[in-house]
């Protein structure tokens, strides 16, 4: 659907097909709502924020300006991780998600894998409120613990060896590049975008701290930006055999690293 169709189907609560096969008319109130939507979009507000929801891994998630808008690339990563975790079926699996945002990854994993529990952290209390509502919406809130934590500074409070997987779509835009992002992207939370001077701040912490909280052979699964792969490979070192995966455009977009202590 194009953006106009998205907004019309939202206002009319109908399918795209209905726009063209039924004699649907906007009421005066619906006309005003549609006009408000169009005006907000012209002002650069992302369509997903206007609609208030987005589809991810076959589920519908609430989104607003407090959370990063889930992308198809992140959906690829989540789908791959589901496959990885299904190979480990037969025993409970515990996942730590850093920077959960809307909760789309945590909820999608918990929805598809019944013997999985998730500890999902985010620095933003407002984002966590959205994530909790999404977990409740999809009836997995009893298997996800949401906690307000800074993803760079809470590792020493975790008891070692707790997790089978750490997953993250961390902030990875270099600070100096934020002003060059498209206007609608700049409407998203800067905390979810700013990865420090070179965009790699979170990855340094992951490779340094994850060994203290991952079980042996545990996985670190992360999305990253164009051109960051080689730097990530260098900081990972020999203890992290890595597999790289591409997005829909053929660009390396996320990695799966297995912790193999010497």
Give the tens place of pLDDT for each residue, 137-186.
999 999 999 999 999 988 888 877 789 999 999 999 999 999 999 999 99
Q: Measure CA 218 to chain center.
A: 20
**pLDDT number for residue 261:** 84
Whole-model pTM: value is: 0.94
Domain assignment present for 107: yes
- Average confidence (pLDDT) over 115-138: 97
Better-scored residue on pLDDT, 160 or 21: 21
* C-beta separation of 110 from 134 below 8 A: no
Let me know if residue 241 belongs to a domain: yes
- What is the C-alpha separation between 30 and 173, in angstroms, rounded? 39
User: 51 burial class (0-12, 13-18, 19+ CB within 10 angstroms)?
Assistant: middle
Domain count, the chain: 2
Asked if the model's pLDDT at residue 229 lies above 80, the reply is: yes
Is residue 59 situated within a structural domain? no
pLDDT bin (cut points 50, 70, 90) of residue 123 is: very high
Residue 119 lies in a domain: yes
Residues 132, 78 share a domain: yes
CATH code of the domain in which 194 resides:
3.40.50.150
Residue ranges making up the domain that contains 29: 3-43
Q: Tell whether 37 and 82 lie within a shared domain.
A: no
The pLDDT of residue 176:
97
């Amino acid at each position: 659907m194009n953006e106009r169709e998205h907004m019309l189907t939202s206002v009319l609560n109908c399918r795209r097909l209905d726009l063209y096969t039924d004699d649907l008319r906007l009421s005066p109130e619906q006309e005003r709502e549609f006009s408000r939507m169009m005006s907000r979009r012209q002002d650069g507000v992302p369509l997903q924020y206007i609609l208030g929801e987005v589809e991810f891994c076959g589920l519908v998630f609430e989104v607003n300006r407090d959370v990063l808008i889930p992308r198809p690339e992140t959906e690829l990563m989540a789908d791959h991780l589901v496959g990885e975790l299904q190979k480990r079926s037969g025993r409970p699996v515990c996942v730590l998600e850093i920077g959960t945002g809307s909760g789309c990854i945590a909820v999608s994993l918990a929805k598809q894998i019944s013997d999985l529990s998730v500890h999902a952290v985010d620095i933003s209390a407002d984002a966590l409120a959205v994530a909790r509502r999404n977990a409740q919406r999809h009836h997995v809130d009893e298997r996800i613990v949401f906690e307000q934590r800074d993803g760079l500074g809470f590792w020493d409070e975790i008891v070692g060896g707790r997790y089978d997987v750490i997953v993250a779509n961390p902030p990875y835009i270099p600070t100096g590049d934020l002003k060059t992002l498209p206007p609608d992207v700049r409407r998203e939370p800067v905390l979810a975008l700013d990865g420090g001077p070179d965009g790699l701040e979170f990855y340094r912490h992951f490779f340094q701290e994850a060994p203290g909280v991952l079980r042996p052979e545990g996985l670190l699964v992360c999305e990253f930006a164009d051109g960051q792969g080689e730097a990530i490979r260098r900081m990972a070192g020999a203890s992290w055999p890595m597999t790289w995966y591409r997005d829909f455009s053929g660009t390396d977009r996320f990695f799966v690293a297995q912790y193999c202590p010497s």
